[in-house]
Amino acid sequence: MTIVEVPHGSRSVVLRVAAVITETPDTCSLVFDVPDDLRERFSYQPGQFLTLRIPSDLTGSVARCYSLASSPYTDDKPKVTVKRTVGGYGSNWVCDNVKTGDAIEVLPPSGVFTPKDLDDDLLLFGAGSGITPVMSILKSALARGSGRIVLVYANRDHESVIFAGELRELAEKHPQRLTVIHWLEHLQGLPTADGLAALVEPYTSYHAFMCGPKPFMDRVHDALGRLEVPRSRTHAEVFNSLAGDPFADQAPVEVTDEEAADAATVEVELDGEVHELKWPRKQTLVDIMLSKGLDVPYSCQEGECGSCACTVLEGKVEMDNAEILDPEDIENGYILGCQAHPVTDHLRIQF
């Protein structure tokens, strides 16, 4: 097996695998060593993910996003967890090939599937490997928060439950704060909206976070909708296989005089700082921010991962591809920076 030792772009780095952990017969975790000089770049929020560059005989490489199952507050090293999927090139390659000591090209942590306040009461839903970012949130909230946490975790059978032992230990250690509810398909059938709604009806005031296959997420959305849980308290993580190459450096944006003359003005809040930029209509928000040297969060540039999600506070945009966002998200002002073009002359946007 050959794994790249030199980054392909300026944003990525090569990390060593400190350990490979077998979680279940079809799931493994990769623990990474992060050198001291990269620790700040690889600091992360609970629920975020890493993008790995995986070798491919057909295309040279493919990019895959894998959630961090570790907590920045309880784990010394970042850990991603990967479950095999039928026909899944990336997941099968990782599980079949990666060994301790190997080097893998990685993009810094990204993603917005993270609680704003770890003191909130949390209602967490996971199915299969969807437990991965949920586990990061759960451990972080127990370590640094004060609220109650309810986890509903769906799997085929007992053998499929990822982190079963760790969840059991956490529930025993925090009996007043953590409730874990397992839904096993071989005993209860597939999760239904009615069944999920009945389970979580006592917790409708909690902030809900969900991750898993689309049919499962649809049923959770349906259940929460029936219970009239506000959309503002519902958060979903969605992953698609990335078609582009987020590891390649982007070519500089070229703007004609005509485009510059018709450009909109945008005030972008990023990491607490406000930047005023000219925004040509044919360019995306990520494009113009990169051209100004701003460290904008992004990964795929294809509208497939949600890394560049941000909120329109003033003005209006149009998007080339927004399928990863729910209609409710868009109504609440969420956009994808890598797909957005200005419609109005002045905008305010917050990351």
Q: What per-residue confidence (pLDDT) applies to 1?
A: 46
Q: What is the pTM of this model?
A: 0.86
pLDDT average, residue stretch 154-180: 97
- Contact (Cβ atoms closer than 8 angstroms) between residue 17 and residue 32: yes
Tokens matching residue 214: 């689309």
- Whether residue 196 is predicted with pLDDT greater than 80 in this model: the reply is yes
The model's confidence at residue 225, banded by pLDDT at 50, 70 and 90, is: very high
pLDDT, tens digit (0-9, with 9 covering 90-100), for 8-21: 778 899 999 999 99
- Whether residue 166 is predicted with pLDDT greater than 50 in this model: the reply is yes
pLDDT average, residue stretch 72-98: 95
Question: From start to end of the chain, where are the E strands?
Answer: 13-24, 27-33, 49-56, 60-67, 79-83, 103-110, 122-127, 149-155, 178-184, 207-211, 234-237, 264-270, 273-279, 309-314, 317-319, 334-336, 340-342, 346-350
- Whether residue 54 is predicted with pLDDT greater than 60 in this model: the reply is yes
Q: In the β-sheet with 273-279, what is the strand arrangement from edge to edge?
A: 273-279, 264-270, 346-350, 309-314, 334-336
Lowest-confidence segment of 22-26, 144-148, 241-245, 324-328 by average pLDDT: 241-245
- Whether residue 2 is predicted with pLDDT greater than 50 in this model: the reply is no
Rounded to whole angstroms, the Cα distance separating 156 from 183 reads 8
- Contact (Cβ atoms closer than 8 angstroms) between residue 14 and residue 104: yes
Q: Which residue has the tokens 């990967």?
A: 82
Percent of the chain with pLDDT over 90: 74
pLDDT, tens digit (0-9, with 9 covering 90-100), for 199-217: 999 999 999 999 999 999 9
Q: Which residue has the higher pLDDT, 334 or 73?
A: 73
Task: Name the pairing type of β-strands 49-56 and 60-67.
Answer: antiparallel
Q: What per-residue confidence (pLDDT) applies to 250?
A: 73
**Three-state secondary structure call for residue 171:** helix
Tokens matching residue 273: 């700082």
pLDDT average, residue stretch 104-125: 94
Rounded to whole angstroms, the Cα distance separating 345 from 21 reads 52
Most trustworthy range by pLDDT among 104-108, 306-310, 322-326 = 104-108
Rounded to whole angstroms, the Cα distance separating 195 from 29 reads 31
Q: Which residue has the tokens 């945008």?
A: 266
- 118-152 burial, b for 16+ CB within 10 Å, e for fewer? bebbbbbbbbbbbbbbbbbbbbbbbeebebbbbbb
- Whether residue 5 is predicted with pLDDT greater than 70 in this model: the reply is no
pLDDT average, residue stretch 320-331: 83
C-alpha closest to that of 72 among 17, 126, 114? 114
